[in-house]
Structures are given as structure tokens and as C-alpha cells.
């Protein structure tokens, strides 16, 4: 893909986000990722079947429906089996994660890095704030004791809000793209256009009774009514600033929403999550510094898991939840 156009870059500067079609090659890049995750699902289904948590391995179903069936029948969310990051607490020596070669190749796709280079320049660092997002239909999702969907809607937040203050001066670019078409029905992202302009980090509150799960910006702090959904086709990508307020819509469809959530910053700038391993994805000045071996990347995460399992005192969160707006 060619570099981003001036029109796209101007849209990004003015609105805090921009989309681009055909950034990721579906057959060469995305399909191998889905195939790789099908293998992870094989392993998970085998384990759950042996534990008596599911009645069948359901290997006669296509990937998305099999994922839904396994989650629904086991009444559990198995996000960590598929994620290529680690949890922020409770890491053990056998905490699962998946850092496979197809995922690595998707993160370092030349076409994607060409687009990223348009925003942050030729020295590109793969920031370890990164996730795979697998959200099954809410109608079939496991729920907590209060009846709330587990791993459902991602609440309103700024990506700057989930990193530590050492990255306050870093240029962190968010890249979000679906591995299957994402629309308003199955839970695409929605953004608040222009919410980045003041470069102000808003208050983020920990999850609780009102909002399940992750950090979120109280809706009293911005104009929710300005929200714009951002549907994307397989192969398209969304780029956002670290201050752009965004969330996801609920998955009210009958199919999985499957996406990658990546970050990049210029080499030499802090990632805001220094306990996790990043790497040089592209360096025009020193190409020998680029990481090109997916096995090395996997080993970096394995060593990080081993370290955190022994000394799990890493700092990930600048928020303590004591502000009255978080009550």
C-alpha cells in the first residue's frame, strides 16, 4: 500500500482518527492469523473437553461458531489463551498467551508499517500495549453474578489513559483492524471526533458496579452525543491518536467480532508499559536493529512471564479510583 495521503493525514490531525482501505492483505496476512488461532482453539477445546467443561470438541464447526459454542458451553471467557500480551496482575509461570509467527507477521506487515511511517516517521517501535479482541455475541456470552456480559463492550477511554506517565511525551499511534468485517451490529468501534485537540488526558475510573472490566472515562466528562461509529471491512484499518476518546459498540449480531489492537511509537520514546517487551519494527537508519524473527519475539514474552511470575510488582495504572466521579 502507498503511504497515507495528505487528505488522510489532515483528517487525522483534525478529527483524531482516520480510516484506510486495504491496509492489510486479507489472504497473505489476515487469513494466516485466523488459521493460527484456529489451532489455538483446537488446544483450548481439547483441554476443556478433557476437563469435562464442554460436551464435545465441536471441531465440525467453522472457527467463529466453534469459538462461540466453546465460550457459551464452558460459561467462561478464554481471552488470555489467544492474547499476545499478558495480564497486568496475577501472572503465573503457566499463564497462557499466544505470540505466534502469523501474529508477528501481521504486526510487522510492510504495508501496515508503510502507513504507520506516514504518521510517526521511519523509526518505528512496536509498543507492547497490544491485544487480540475476540467478542462473541452478547446473547450467548457468559455473564457475571450480576448478569453482565463478560468481555463485552469496551467502555469509553483514551489510550493515553491506560499507560504510565513516562509516556506522556511519547507519540503513540493506535492501529485497530478487524480480522473479519466489523460493523455496528457486531460491535465495531465508535469515536468522538475532535476529542484529541486539547491534548488533555481525562479522568479514568477503574471498572466496578457501573462499568464492568477496564478503565473508563465517565460520560459526564465529554459529549457522548458526538459519537460516530467506524465500521471496517476485513483489510481496512483505523488509526487514532492517544487522546482520541473511543469505545466499542455491543455485539448484538450472531457472529464473532475478531480484531487486532496495536500501538506503535518512534524508536527511543517510552511505551508507557516498560514491564512488557517491545521491539524495533522498522528502522530506515539502522535496519540491523529490526526484529525479524518471530521465535525471538515469542521468547521475549515467555521470559517476561517467567519474571513477572516471580516478582509481580510491575506498575501499569496511574489511576486510584478515589475521585468522586468514580463513585
**pLDDT tens for the chain, residues 1 to 327:** 458 999 999 999 999 999 999 999 999 999 999 999 999 999 999 999 999 999 999 999 999 999 999 999 999 999 999 999 999 999 999 999 999 999 999 999 999 999 999 999 999 999 999 999 999 999 999 998 888 888 889 999 999 999 999 999 999 999 999 999 999 999 999 999 999 999 999 999 987 655 566 799 999 999 999 999 999 999 999 999 999 999 999 999 999 999 999 999 999 999 999 999 999 999 999 999 999 999 999 999 999 999 999 987 788 889 988 999 998
Residues in the chain, overall count: 327
3-state SS string for 133-158: EEECCHHHCCECCCCCECCCCCCCEC
Q: Are 203 and 137 in contact (CB under 8 A)?
A: no
Burial of 72 (0-12, 13-18, 19+ CB in 10 A): middle
Place of cell 465495531: 188
Query: What strand order describes the sheet that includes 228-230?
Result: 228-230, 189-191, 246-248
What is 6-25+107-310's CATH number? 2.60.120.620
Sequence spans of domains, the chain: 6-25+107-310
H or E, element range at 118: helix 110-120
Q: Are 203 and 218 in contact (CB under 8 A)?
A: yes
pTM of the prediction?
Answer: 0.96
Q: How many CA atoms lie within 13 A of 309 on its CB side?
A: 11
Pure H helices in 211-326 = 294-310
Supply the pLDDT for residue 152.
84
- Using CA atoms, how far apart are residues 315 and 65, in angstroms rounded to an integer? 37
The 3-state DSSP class for residue 74 equals helix
Query: Residues near 60 by Cβ (< 8 Å), separated by ≥ 6?
Result: none
Burial of 137 (0-12, 13-18, 19+ CB in 10 A): buried
Query: Residues near 200 by Cβ (< 8 Å), separated by ≥ 6?
Result: 243
Supply the pLDDT for residue 154.
92
- Using CA atoms, how far apart are residues 173 and 264, in angstroms rounded to an integer? 5
Supply the pLDDT for residue 1.
45
Amino acid at each position: 500500500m502507498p503511504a497515507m495521503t495528505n487528505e488522510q493525514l489532515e483528517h487525522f490531525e483534525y478529527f483524531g482518527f482516520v480510516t484506510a482501505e486495504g491496509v492489510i492483505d486479507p489472504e497473505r496476512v489476515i487469513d494466516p492469523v485466523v488459521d493460527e488461532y484456529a489451532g489455538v482453539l483446537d488446544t483450548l477445546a481439547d483441554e476443556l473437553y478433557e476437563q469435562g467443561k464442554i460436551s464435545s470438541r465441536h471441531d465440525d464447526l467453522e472457527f467463529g461458531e466453534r469459538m462461540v459454542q466453546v465460550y457459551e458451553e464452558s460459561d467462561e471467557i478464554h481471552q488470555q489463551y489467544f492474547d499476545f500480551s499478558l495480564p497486568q496482575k496475577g501472572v503465573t509461570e503457566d499463564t497462557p498467551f499466544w505470540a505466534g509467527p502469523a501474529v508477528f507477521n501481521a504486526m510487522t506487515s510492510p504495508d501496515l508499517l508503510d502507513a504507520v511511517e506516514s504518521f510517526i516517521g521511519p523509526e518505528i517501535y512496536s509498543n507492547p500495549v497490544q491485544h487480540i479482541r475476540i467478542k462473541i455475541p452478547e446473547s450467548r456470552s457468559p455473564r457475571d453474578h450480576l448478569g453482565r456480559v463478560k468481555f463485552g463492550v469496551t467502555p469509553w477511554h483514551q489510550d493515553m489513559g491506560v499507560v504510565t506517565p513516562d509516556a506522556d511525551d511519547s507519540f503513540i499511534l493506535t492501529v485497530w483492524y478487524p480480522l473479519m468485517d466489523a460493523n455496528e451490529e457486531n460491535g465495531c468501534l465508535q469515536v468522538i471526533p475532535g476529542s484529541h485537540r486539547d491534548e488533555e488526558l481525562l479522568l479514568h475510573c477503574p471498572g466496578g458496579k457501573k462499568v464492568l472490566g477496564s478503565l473508563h472515562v465517565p460520560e459526564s466528562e465529554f459529549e457522548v452525543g458526538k459519537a460516530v461509529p467506524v465500521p471496517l471491512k476485513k483489510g481496512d484499518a483505523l488509526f487514532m491518536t492517544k487522546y482520541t476518546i473511543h469505545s466499542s459498540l455491543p455485539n448484538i449480531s450472531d457472529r464473532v467480532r475478531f480484531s487486532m489492537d496495536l500501538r506503535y511509537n518512534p524508536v527511543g520514546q517510552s511505551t508507557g508499559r516498560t514491564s512488557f517487551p517491545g521491539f524495533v519494527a522498522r528502522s530506515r537508519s539502522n535496519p540491523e536493529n529490526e526484529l525479524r524473527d518471530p521465535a525471538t519475539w515469542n521468547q521475549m514474552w515467555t521470559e517476561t512471564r517467567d519474571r513477572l511470575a516471580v516478582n509481580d510488582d510491575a506498575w501499569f495504572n496511574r489511576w486510584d479510583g478515589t475521585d468522586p466521579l468514580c463513585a
